[in-house]
Amino acid sequence: MDGTTGHGGEERPGNITSDFCYVDAAVHSAGIWGSAGSRPFLGFALPRLQLQLAIIFFVTQFLHLLLRRFDLPRLVSEILAGIILGPTILGQYEYVEQALFPQEGDVYLDLLSKIGYIFFIFLSGVKMDPRTVLRTGIKAWTIGVLAVTLPLGGNLISTVLHQNEIHKYRIPAYKTTISIQNLFPFPVIASMLVDLKIMNTELGRLTLASALISDMVSNLSSTLITYGRVGIMSFADVIMIHSTFMTMCLILFILCIGRPLSLWIIQNTPEGKPVCRFHVVIMSFLVFVVVLLTDNVGLNYQYGPFLLGLAVPDGPPLGATLVDRLETLVSGLLAPLLVTFCGMNVNLVELYDLEFLGTVWVIVGLCLGLKLLSVFVPAVVCKVPVKDAVALSFIMSAQGVVQMAFYYYNYVNQTYDRETFSILTTSVLIQVAASSIIVKSLYDYSRMYAGYQKRDIQHTSNNSELRMLVCTHRVDDAVAVQKVLEASYPSKETPMAVYAIHLLELAGRAHPQLIDHQLGQKSSGESRTQKIIDILSSFEQQYAGAATVQQFTAMSLTKFMHHDICTVAFNKLASMIILPFHRKWNQQGKVIQDSSSLRSINCEVLELAPCSVAVLIDRHKVRRRPAAGGYTVGVAFFGGADDREALAYARRMARSPDVSLTVVRMVPWDIYAGDSQWDAVLDAEILKDTRMQMHDDIVYREERVKDGAETALLIHAMEEAFDLIMVGRRHKEDTPQLMGLCEWNDLPELGPVGDMLAAPDLTLPLSILVVQHQNIKTI
């Protein structure tokens, strides 16, 4: 070497020349087979980052597969993955520390995780509707406000009393820990409800409403306390005025730029269409601008994106599109990366100041105890059941990614040392795991309707009111169910009460809603809701005095919609729920929709419903054959509780002068002893009553069949003869009449006969009602 750097200047220590300096940051690798000199493949930043992400994702998923059977949320797996990959376990090995996770590579993981968290907190704000606070009941207000004020008062008193006992060097960490413990972040509580699958339950709705209030009150109180501390400092006037002025400028920027921009995007988006990609990019760019301003104002960088999210109108089109485009990447990869990265900074091997660490555990324990009591006592006073009040306390006291972000922020700012940060992260891990297990043991949503019997049509007397709950997703569903309701013959002697739920997917919102239109509440959803309301209102007007219709709109995540359906059915004492089938046909008989999410809803309702359930398979759009006069209904009867329920409903229809009923009983050639003796008695009784009621509009006949093949031929013959065929869903597996059909069952939720009638290639204008009798559960 000639003593120069090759860049036009003399070489100096640290690669500094007389003209300029440079940093030897190797980003791209020449590949495994390329020439990279003496630098190893993992010495390049980009391939090392890709390998790090792959390892983190693999370890997290592997742990989640192991732990989810114990009902532990994903957050536990993410923290454990970080602890395993960090200096506590694998970081003890020199190769892992220096090659896979070197210190100079932390900057890239740190940057990615912070970007993910910024968008996570922005989307959390987008999904929140501050106006919900104004519509919240007194119970949620009481719990939400007291949950914050009681621990806050207790912790302020504790801080004053014990301040002299803490070393001056530790006082900032002491106060910061108490302030973070008093947070009630809405995104954390909402995520926990989703993990526990109870968001749409009565407990879940109360928790969301209380959490929204607690989050706003805790943020407001922490801001006031912060300004109060600044105000008692020396030269406080200048600092406080400057800080307040800059904060107000940030808020004005969001209100005067962010909010109008959001409204302008919505106004320029065609109705029913998603926001275009360019507008999503603009909003994403605005998030980074707000983060930059927030950091320069002196606030924690997460406050700005959260306030901007609150300024964006929730729901479609803008809020829904932002959530749809960003949620998967942000919540699935980038935001969890922050949790894992925090775990990778945990070192539980090197702990020195055990006295202060013991104090940290005491602080965490006392704050948790105060929070639990401050939620439990007001909940019990508000007449929440004790078990639900305990579960509510643990959910409201949950910790998660928001607290960990605050801990890491203070660790970077050196308010915490590594020991304190490690203990606080471990406390989050323990609290999250314990809270999930305790709530799961206290609140089992699958047994919410246990112990209630005789919620069916069979045990509804002929002259009593028949209560039906009907569900719709599309206008087609409302048209189809209206035809069935008309055939059910509502009259003054046999009145009918119909409860209709229009199911809308929760898009761009965090708070599920159950809107009762009879109370004058209006849906902010799509225009098709009004069309469905008009269709069912016309049915009520047509049968005035004989039928009443109460309509609801349920806005929820698809995986929790079954809770809304079952809750309304339970509260309204419904005898039967009618669900729309997940397949739709056009006029040519071709399938135009096959929704797996709707199928999942139906399966969940069939499992949890507190009453009988029927799945309506409708092909009314298919070109109809010439009308033969009246509405023809056929029942294929094999025996069992489901078939009896289907026949009981059909017999009620047969009272209508416009309905003709045909009952076809499939009888095996050989004597079959598979049914229980009691089932056989009940079958014989209902068939006897049916034969006694036979007249011109009721026909009963028996058909002898050997196996499923002969049954299939008879069912196909019925397809040509009826407008509506009613069948039971479940039968004994060894029923001779169905032998061989179960092997070809593609849709188990319909049973072998219903599956055959729901075949996608069937091109007849035929409707099918697959009936399941109420599942009797014991307490």
Which of 478, 482, 480 lies closest to 502 in space, CA to CA? 478
Q: Is 365 in contact with 427 (CB distance < 8 Å)?
A: no
DSSP track, 21-41: B------S---SSS--TT--G
Classify each residue of 65-83 as buried b or exposed e, where b means 16 or more C-beta atoms within 10 Å of its C-beta. Answer: eebeeeebbbbbbbbbbbb
Report pLDDT for 672.
57
Report pLDDT for 607.
87
The residue-averaged pLDDT of 291-309 equals 82
- At residue 499, φ and ψ (nearest 5 deg) are -115, 115
Range of lowest pLDDT (512-526, 660-674, 693-707): 512-526
The first and second tokens of residue 361, run together, are 């555990």
775 band by pLDDT with thresholds 50, 70 and 90: confident
Report pLDDT for 556.
82
DSSP track, 120-157: HHHHHHHH--GGGGGG--HHHHHHHHHHHHHHHHHHHH
What's the pLDDT tens digit per position in 161-182? Answer: 566 667 777 778 888 888 888 8
Q: Is 361 in contact with 423 (CB distance < 8 Å)?
A: yes
pLDDT at 331 over 90: no
**CB atoms near residue 449 (< 10 Å):** 19
pLDDT at 701 over 90: no
pLDDT at 3 over 50: no
The residue-averaged pLDDT of 27-48 equals 66
The first and second tokens of residue 341, run together, are 């990265």
**Gap between the Cα atoms of 577 and 457, Å rounded:** 11
471 band by pLDDT with thresholds 50, 70 and 90: very high
Report pLDDT for 661.
86
Range of lowest pLDDT (238-247, 381-390, 698-707, 741-750): 238-247
Residue 187 gets the label, from left (phi > 0), alpha (psi -120 to 50) or beta, of alpha
> Helix, strand, coil: what percent of the chain each, to 5?
60, 10, 30
pLDDT at 56 over 70: yes
Range of lowest pLDDT (128-142, 318-332, 486-500, 536-550): 128-142
What's the pLDDT tens digit per position in 753-766? Answer: 888 888 877 777 78
**Gap between the Cα atoms of 536 and 531, Å rounded:** 9
Report pLDDT for 519.
60
pLDDT at 671 over 50: yes
33 band by pLDDT with thresholds 50, 70 and 90: low
Range of lowest pLDDT (35-44, 113-122, 695-704): 35-44
**Gap between the Cα atoms of 140 and 249, Å rounded:** 33
Of 342 and 590, the one with more pLDDT: 342
What's the pLDDT tens digit per position in 72-88? Answer: 888 899 999 999 988 88
Mean pLDDT score of the chain = 79
Helix 354-381 and helix 386-396: axis angle, to 10°?
140
Report pLDDT for 10.
42
Q: Which residues pair with 499 in a beta bridge?
A: 469, 550
The first and second tokens of residue 77, run together, are 């797996």
Q: What is the pTM of this model?
A: 0.74
Q: Which residues pair with 578 in a beta bridge?
A: 470, 614
**Gap between the Cα atoms of 678 and 641, Å rounded:** 11
328 band by pLDDT with thresholds 50, 70 and 90: confident
Report pLDDT for 141.
84
pLDDT at 11 over 70: no
Report pLDDT for 162.
63
**Gap between the Cα atoms of 409 and 229, Å rounded:** 20
The dihedral of CA 649, 653, 655, 659: what is its sign?
A: negative
Query: Following CA atoms 674, 678, 681, 685 in sequence, which dihedral angle do they give, to the nearest 10 degrees?
Result: -120
**Gap between the Cα atoms of 254 and 266, Å rounded:** 17
Range of lowest pLDDT (43-52, 288-297, 422-431, 469-478): 43-52
**Gap between the Cα atoms of 283 and 118, Å rounded:** 13
The residue-averaged pLDDT of 28-41 equals 61
Of 562 and 16, the one with more pLDDT: 562
The residue-averaged pLDDT of 299-314 equals 82
pLDDT at 23 over 70: no
Report pLDDT for 17.
45
Q: Residues, the chain, total? A: 779
pLDDT at 32 over 70: no
At position 610, the amino acid (one-letter code) is P
Of 336 and 454, the one with more pLDDT: 336
What's the pLDDT tens digit per position in 137-150? Answer: 788 888 888 888 87
pLDDT at 30 over 80: no
Report pLDDT for 553.
86
769 band by pLDDT with thresholds 50, 70 and 90: very high
Report pLDDT for 779.
46
Report pLDDT for 24.
59
Report pLDDT for 89.
86
Angle at 396 between CA 392 and CA 401, to 5 degrees: 140
**Gap between the Cα atoms of 386 and 106, Å rounded:** 47
What percent of the chain clears pLDDT 70, i.e. is strictly above it?
Answer: 82
The first and second tokens of residue 227, run together, are 């300004």
Q: Is 148 in contact with 218 (CB distance < 8 Å)?
A: yes
The first and second tokens of residue 525, run together, are 């959803």
Classify each residue of 127-160 as buried b or exposed e, where b means 16 or more C-beta atoms within 10 Å of its C-beta. Answer: bbbeebbeebeebbbbbbbbbbbbbbebbeebbe
The first and second tokens of residue 652, run together, are 């009620």
The residue-averaged pLDDT of 121-146 equals 79
Eight-class DSSP state of 68: G
pLDDT at 469 over 90: yes
629 band by pLDDT with thresholds 50, 70 and 90: low
